[in-house]
Amino acid sequence: MDQIIDLERYPLDRPGSADWTRLVERCRAELAGDGMYNLDGFLRPGVAEKAVGQIRPVMDREAFTHKRSHNIYFRREMPGLEPDHPALRQVETVSHTLCADQLQNSLVLTIYEYEPLAVFLAATMDKPVLYRMSDPLARANVMSYRDGEALNWHFDRSEFTTTLLLQAPLAGGQFEYRTDLRSDDNPNYAGVERLLAGLDPEVKALTAMPGVLNVFRGKNTAHRVTPVSGALDRMIAVFSFYERQNVTMNADEQVGFYGRAA
């Protein structure tokens, strides 16, 4: 694994050591302050490019194209809001997805299944333990966004999202986010309306290099990926971890996200 992950800079293989503890504390502080942390250069040089080389033929041949209009909640309605409320404004997302069963023997699955990664992530999120998802499709995905395509404004269903950027586009494809736009007891519909109208001055942008690991608290932080521009697509791996074991999607959810059931 030392040839894949920079374990000198990020000592995931030494849990409890002084270096590991300092890294965990740094990540916890960044999560508390900004709702995310980034481990730049998490992958060794050339590893992201090698992973893309493994995935590209499968992506071109088998990826599920997911194109849909949606609101920021991915829900048809919200309690107390009329269907034409500005907070329910429709936006469009287009992406191409490979599921875990299409990533067999890939570097992406090797990294996802590396147990010290789950231990480290749990520590940074202040969780007693995290388990890899059991779903044969959803446990690890690779998403591709091509010229003109974007992941539009939304809130995540899960508390945290863990991603690994494999390829950056020539232009566009920036990750934009608005930390704590809502809370569990305040939906802040007026703030959502301002965000969707492009009037929120607290929106931040992140331009990342391939090989960066990002952990993001997206349940109450709105975020999007701006439209990609150029011949090089934005390719990112998404890893799913949960506090309980044996988590899976139901067949309807699988069809909705991937066009097929396991």
pLDDT over 90 (residue 76): no
* Mean pLDDT to the nearest integer, 126-145: 96
Rounded distance, CA 37 to CA 13, Å?
A: 19
| Three-class secondary structure of residue 107 per DSSP | helix
Question: What's the pLDDT at 214?
Answer: 96
As a whole number, the mean pLDDT across the chain is: 94
Rounded distance, CA 165 to CA 131, Å?
A: 22
Question: What's the pLDDT at 212?
Answer: 98
pLDDT over 90 (residue 158): no
Copy the structure tokens of residue 208: 């990342």
CB-based burial, 169-195: b 16+ in 10 Å, e otherwise = beebbbbebbbbbbeeeebbbebbbbb
Residue range 227-247, pLDDT digits in tens: 999 999 999 999 999 999 999
Residue range 12-62, pLDDT digits in tens: 999 999 999 999 999 999 999 888 999 999 999 999 999 999 999 999 999
Closest CA to 140 of 240, 246, 51: 240
pLDDT over 90 (residue 257): no
Find residue 215's DSSP bridge partners.
37, 162
At the second CATH level, the architecture of 18-258 is: Sandwich (2.60)
Copy the structure tokens of residue 99: 């599921």
> What is the number of alpha carbons within 13 Å of residue 149 lying toward its C-beta?
20
**Helices within 35-155 (DSSP H only):** 47-62, 107-112, 115-124
Question: What's the pLDDT at 189?
Answer: 95
- According to DSSP, the β-strands at 91-98 and 64-70 are antiparallel
Rounded distance, CA 75 to CA 180, Å?
A: 19
pLDDT over 90 (residue 74): no
